[in-house]
Each structure stands twice: as C-alpha cells, then as structure tokens.
Amino acid sequence: MYIGNSNNESPEEPSHAVLTPTPSFRPLKILVHGLNFPPDLIGIAKYSGEMVSWLAARGHQLRVVTAPPYYPAWRLAPADRTLRYRAERFETVVAVRRCPIWVPARPSGLKRLLHLASFALSSTPALMIEALRFRPDVIWTVAPALAAVPGALVAGRLAGAPCWLHVQDLEVDAAFRLGLLRSPRLHRWSLAVEGWLMRRFARVSSVAPAMVAAIAAKGCREVSLVRNWVDTGRIVPLERPSPFRDELGIPADAIVGLYTGVFAAKQGMELVIAAARRLSDRPLYFVLAGDGAEKAAIIAAAAGLDRVRFLPLQPVERLNDLLGLADIHLLPQRAGADDLMLPSKLTGMLASGRPVLAAAAADRALAGEVAGCGLVVPSEDLDAFCAGLLALAEDPDRRRVLGLAARERALAVWRRDAILEQFERRLLVLADRCRA
C-alpha cells in the first residue's frame, strides 16, 4: 500500500503490497521501541516523536522504550553516562523509558556494533516489563537498531501483540558498502540473521519504494511503504529574505547552497567542501547546518574558505527560516548508500520550495525522488557537482520552476496528515487481525 498520498493509490504502489479494508476506529495501546527519540532534533528521533505526538492526539495510548538523547553529536549528557534507567513524560501524556547505552566518541564499524548491542541488552528487559504491564495492541519498532529487534519479538509474544518493524536504513547493507565492516563471512552471516528476523514480524515497512523492494527480496511477505513526512503548514516557501542572511553576513544578491542535517561518513560532505574550494571565486556561499561525528573534520577541511559558514542544529521554531535561506539545497550522498537509505532531510527541502542538487546514481531511490525538483549528479563526482551547482546558480528562472515543482511534490507525496492517517488505518487493521 502506498502510504503518503491523499488520493487513494499511487503509481509507485509495490506489486507485492496487500490492500486492506478500512477498519472502524478505536483507540489502541501502542508500544514504541527505537534507538532515537526527542529531544534529539533530527532523523529517526524527529519522525518517531512526531508520530507519537500525532497518535496521542488522536486518542491512542502510547509508551516508548528508547535510549537517552545523544544524536547526532554522539555525546551523552553526564547524567546519562550510567547504567541507570530513567522514566519521563513526553508532551505530558506519553510515558518514556530511557535505557542505558554506550556511546563512542568516534563511531567506527566495530564500535557501532557494540553501541547497538548495548541498547539491545538494556532495552530488552524494559520491553518485557512494558509488554506485561501495558499489554499493547501493537508493538512498533524502528531499525536501526536491528540488534534490538529480538527483544521486540519476545515482548510481542509476552503481550500477545503483533510486531511491526519499520526500516529507516538498511543498516547491514550500508555498513558493508560504506566499508564500516569488511569481513565477507560476517556479511553473509549478518544478512542471514537480518532476513530471518525481518520474516518474524507481522508487518515490515520502509520509507522508499526501492527499499520496500529490497526488503521484499529478503523474503518478507507483507511490506508497506510508510514515507517520512513533512508538516507542509509549518515548512513553507519564504516570501522574504531569511533573517539568517544578515546573521551570517551574506550579501542579498549572493547565491546560497545550504546543507542541513548530520555530519556523518555516509553523507559525503567532503564533496561540498571540495566544491566550495573550487568555486571560491564565484559569488556562492555555502552554509552547513547540523552536527555529527564528522563535523570537526569538515570544519578543519574548510579552513581558509571565507564563504563557508557553519551553524549548529536549529530549534524547530527557526527551521523554516533556515530552509528558506537556501537558493539551492545540497544533498551529497556517498556512493553505495544512495539506494539503502532515503535522507530524511529531503522532505523539508522540498516543502521549502527550493531546488535540490543531489549526488546519487541515476537509477537509485534518491534520484527518483529528486527528479523534476532539482538536479541529480553522480555520487562523489566533483566535476558534475560543480557543474550542476553553477547551472542552478546562474539560472534563476530554472531555480524558480524547480522550486515550485518541489513544493507541489511535498504537498502531493509527503504531507504529514495524509501519511499518518494511512498509517493509523494499517495499525488498526493489524490489531484487528491479531485479535481475530
């Protein structure tokens, strides 16, 4: 089922998806399990928090089992660097259980595995307790981290509840393609375990058609497309210059290439810095906003570049002004990762009504999402990236047309309420099926 369009089905509908009837509404008890949750500002935490908030406003009861906030800076608060479990409230109505976790300062392949394993070990007892106390109708768990999903399956058995796995990143494939892990034997074993675990879930979903197809190829029977979303009422095209221009000392007539999000190995941020250095004699400014394990290295690489500006993550209240700063949104992506994950930042880029310059192979998921709303150049190809950037910078009419198309795409495909209404319906169907 295509989830993310207010008009019934979509031509992107995967052939293996199963249409479901519209159930009668009743409040559900939903146990949410995932590594990242607010107050982390971006990525999976953002979407999990918005989903929980939306469902709670609809009258559903929710509880959350998660880790303390640490992402994307890969840094825990001093109070969370212990083995202590912590209980809190999210938006006053949702009980949240924070489970202790080990967070490496510099995440490598092996350290990431240990990091994920620590969450799996700590969150499993919490899931079991919540399953017995809360008796959820559905358990919703998010990957990454796949290492933690056996705990969700056990909790589902204890509660007699169906388990739904939502895949934001195909983490096993990405780890090996990006060289974070290298052992062929470990790769084969990891893929076998991943497929076996996925097939144990009542339903599996992911955020892009290509990722849905990849999961179905692992033998999963029911795989749904549940897109990430954007609040198109909050993120709107700016009709005035962004206040960030004055704050950053950027001339009114300069062209701004904006990157927002995580500074991580899979993003390929070196491409943006290399383009800024090559085009340093042009009236182009580069603004890189966000945080992450690679940020210090990227700042060091940009030394001497007068037209590169760095910003920290911005609060939600300033996000629209930040996205409206862009004349061109920059979306680099490392080769090998562009069909295994769909950058969550893309939704806000499109809703802001600005064109996107993306680095991805032409046959990848990211290229298909950006087509008609910007330009797509090959991953890690500096010549092509610079040429695409100049082509957009020097053609304001083209930027305007592509920006209008981006906004229309956001309204048609990525609108929050349409996506979550469809998602809620599937939750109701899954709970009804289990009860029957």
Tell me the per-residue pLDDT of 290-328, one tens digit each, with 9 for 90 and over.
Answer: 998 889 999 999 999 999 999 999 999 999 999 999 999
CA 53 to chain centre: 17
Residue at 238 is within a domain: no
131 and 146 in a single domain? The answer is yes
Residue at 276 is within a domain: yes
How far apart CA 297 and CA 288 sit, in angstroms, is 13
- Convert the pLDDT of each residue in 319-344 to its tens digit: 999 999 999 999 998 876 655 678 88
- pLDDT score at 41: 83
- pLDDT score at 43: 85
206 and 160 in a single domain? The answer is yes
83 and 41 in a single domain? The answer is yes
205 and 333 in a single domain? The answer is no
- The C-alpha angle 118, 337, 235, rounded to 5 degrees, equals 90
Residues 385-398 have a mean pLDDT of 98
223 and 248 in a single domain? The answer is no
Residues 124-137 have a mean pLDDT of 97
- pLDDT score at 189: 78
72 and 91 in a single domain? The answer is yes
Confidence of residue 13 (pLDDT cuts 50, 70, 90): very low
Asked if residue 54 lies in contact with residue 420, where contact means CB atoms within 8 angstroms, the answer is yes
259 and 374 in a single domain? The answer is yes
- Mean residue pLDDT of the chain comes to 89
190 and 335 in a single domain? The answer is no
Residues 24-52 have a mean pLDDT of 93
Q: Looking at per-residue confidence, does 151 or 176 come out higher? A: 151
Which amino acid belongs to residue 170?
L
Residue at 66 is within a domain: yes
Residue at 274 is within a domain: yes
Residue at 142 is within a domain: yes
- pLDDT score at 228: 93
Confidence of residue 5 (pLDDT cuts 50, 70, 90): very low
Q: Is the pLDDT of residue 413 over 90?
A: yes
Confidence of residue 268 (pLDDT cuts 50, 70, 90): confident
Residues 382-405 have a mean pLDDT of 98
- pLDDT score at 174: 67
- Report percent pLDDT > 90 for the chain: 69
Q: Which of 242, 355, 259 is nearest to 302 (CA)?
A: 259
114 and 14 in a single domain? The answer is yes
User: pTM of the full predicted structure?
Assistant: 0.87
Give the list of residues 6+ apart from residue 151 with CB closer than 8 angstroms, or none: 33, 120, 123, 124, 127, 128
Q: Is the pLDDT of residue 12 over 50?
A: no
- pLDDT score at 3: 31
Residues 61-83 have a mean pLDDT of 94
Q: Is the dihedral of CA 374, 376, 381, 384 positive or negative?
A: negative
Q: In which domain, by residue range, is 296 found?
A: 243-413
Omega before residue 72 within 30° of 0, cis: yes
Ranking 127-136, 157-166, 229-238, 354-363 by mean pLDDT, the lowest is 354-363
Residue at 288 is within a domain: yes
How far apart CA 291 and CA 305 sit, in angstroms, is 19
Residue at 235 is within a domain: no
65 and 202 in a single domain? The answer is yes
- pLDDT score at 364: 81
Q: What CATH number should be reported for the domain holding residue 312?
A: 3.40.50.2000
- pLDDT score at 170: 77
Residue at 236 is within a domain: no
Residues 238-257 have a mean pLDDT of 96
Residues 393-409 have a mean pLDDT of 98
Looking at the 3D structure of the chain, how many domains does it have? Answer: 2
427 and 395 in a single domain? The answer is no
Q: Is the pLDDT of residue 110 over 90?
A: no
Q: Is the pLDDT of residue 374 over 90?
A: yes
- Convert the pLDDT of each residue in 417-433 to its tens digit: 999 999 999 999 999 98
Residues 391-398 have a mean pLDDT of 98
- pLDDT score at 4: 32
Which run of H or E residues covers position 327? Answer: none
Positions of E strands within 159-315: 163-167, 203-206, 223-226, 255-262, 284-291, 308-311
Residues 150-176 have a mean pLDDT of 88
332 and 349 in a single domain? The answer is yes
Question: Of the segments 43-47, 219-223, 406-410, which one has the largest average pLDDT value?
Answer: 406-410
